[in-house]
Homo-oligomer: A and B are copies of this chain.
Amino acid sequence: MKIGILGMGNVGTGVYKILQENKNEIVKYLGSHIDISKILVKTINKDRGIYIDGSMLTNNSDDILNDKSIEIVIELMGGIDPAFGYIKKAIENGKHVVTANKAVIATYGKELEALAKEKGVFLKYEASVGGGIPIINTLIESLAANKIEEIIGIINGTTNYILTQMTKNNLSFDEALRLAQNNGYAEADPTSDIEGEDSAFKISILTAIAYGLNVSSNSIEREGITKVQKRDIEYASELGYKIKLLAVAKKYKNEIEIYVYPSLVPNEHPLAAINDEFNALFLRGNAVGELLLCGKGAGSLPTGSAVLADILSVAKSIENNIDNIGNVNHGDKAVEVKGIGNSQYYIRLQVIDKPGVLGKIAMTFGKHGISIDSVVQKSRGEKTVPLVFITHDIQKDMLDRALEEVDVYEYVEKVASVLKVENI
């Protein structure tokens, strides 16, 4: 079985190493070898930390996309351009495609799935969500006989690492981000991770699989973690919560809530214990009940492990002469897609420490229909003090109106934080 690889960066070298190191396991599974014919790279001569026969390398994509002997194309470049064009051309040329590219699948998945079905080839992307965690295979195969009721994921390792550092080592967001960058858990430009775009790509992919809905990642309600402060983590901790960036899809009768939001997770819930660069998916199906999958959401070998699983699955199908007949994306068109519905919120105000302030704010909340679950106020002998509320289930727009009014009140310095409370 001959494959061509587009891109030999972090994930590419992982795939290359696993193919060498675990040759026996692969032959056991498949009964035959996987041979790399060609690898597309930008720079032929470059130290990649592994030995690769120079004759395998090319910087002409046609050497792979037009090579009739290559049956599977592995796309590991990342980003939309030129990866999307290459994937499309590979499928048009009748090649199966395995990719780890969340941006391409989230954005063009529907189009590419349809094209692959038309051409009878497979398009697989287990590695695009949750690195080595077999989330996509679990959703498609193992939970095939379930109605998926909710998916709650910690699916961005960078933000989880940052939040863990802020929690465990009492770092500020900026300090934790720098540490993440120094340790290779955040990129030089971390925007996509810390602003929640990466998580939005991934929950969009999972939503397409679980519910057959194509929700553009741009239209997903989202907020990143840049506004989360050390103080919020401390207060959350006092109240019995950890703060995590959650990517959520919840199905109700005729609607589905999809969002990415920094959220308070109760300490007793296993998601609260998912730390550092780990990812986790918490699912609820109407037959299986609760299911938690947890593992390394990124990294050369874990992501390579998922890419290999896809390659082996496609290779086995090729050997058994199975065409892709397509079985995802049969969406229920009557479902309305929305953002966060009724929810509890965590609110931190910075207020001047005077009698009557709490009462006035509570009255304003009450006027707007915001009822309060708990409140923490601690005088620290400073001029202004933090005042922390956790609300009951409310509509976000009611909260926004209440906070607008509170914000201009003379004893309120600022509305410092509004986070979601995910009561799982």
Contacts and interface: CB of A to CB of B under 8 A. Distances in A.
B18 A287 contact: yes
Nearest to A332: B24
Interface stretch (A92-100, A113-121, A307-315, A375-383): A307-315
Interface string A289-313: 1111111100101101110110111
Nearest to A291: B295
Contact of A144 (B133, B143, B308): B308
A339 interface: no
A242 to B, nearest CB: 13
A291 to B, nearest CB: 4
A147 B22 contact: yes
A270 interface: yes
A273 B299 CA distance: 26
Contacts of A18: 145-146, 287
A287 B273 contact: no
Interface in A244-259: none
B270 A288 contact: no
Contacts of A28: 212, 327, 330
Interface stretch (A134-142, A223-231, A399-407): A134-142
Contacts of A296: 288-290
A311 B134 CA distance: 20
A25 interface: yes
B270 A287 contact: no
Contact of A288 (B146, B285, B295): B295
A262 interface: no
A308 B295 contact: no
A31 interface: yes
A290 B296 CA distance: 7
Contacts of A31: 325, 327
Range for the number of chain A residues in contact with chain B? 35 or more
A26 to B, nearest CB: 6
A397 interface: no
B287 A301 contact: yes
Contacts of A287: 14, 18, 21-22, 132, 301-302, 304-305, 308
A75 interface: no
A301 to B, nearest CB: 5
A299 B289 contact: yes
A132 B288 CA distance: 5
B132 A289 contact: yes
A29 interface: yes
B145 A312 contact: yes
Contacts of A306: 142, 288
Contact of A134 (B19, B29, B138, B312): B138
A150 interface: no
Most buried by B among A26, A296, A305, A313: A305
A126 B143 CA distance: 12
A121 to B, nearest CB: 15
Contacts of A327: 28-31
A138 B308 CA distance: 13
A304 B212 CA distance: 23
A143 B287 CA distance: 25
A295 B289 contact: yes
16 contacts: A21-B287, A22-B147, A22-B286, A29-B145, A31-B327, A132-B289, A137-B141, A141-B141, A144-B309, A287-B305, A289-B295, A289-B296, A289-B299, A291-B295, A292-B292, A293-B294
Q: Which 9 residue pairs are nearest across A and B when measured between Cβ atoms? A: A134-B142, A145-B308, A287-B305, A132-B288, A288-B305, A291-B295, A292-B294, A29-B144, A289-B296
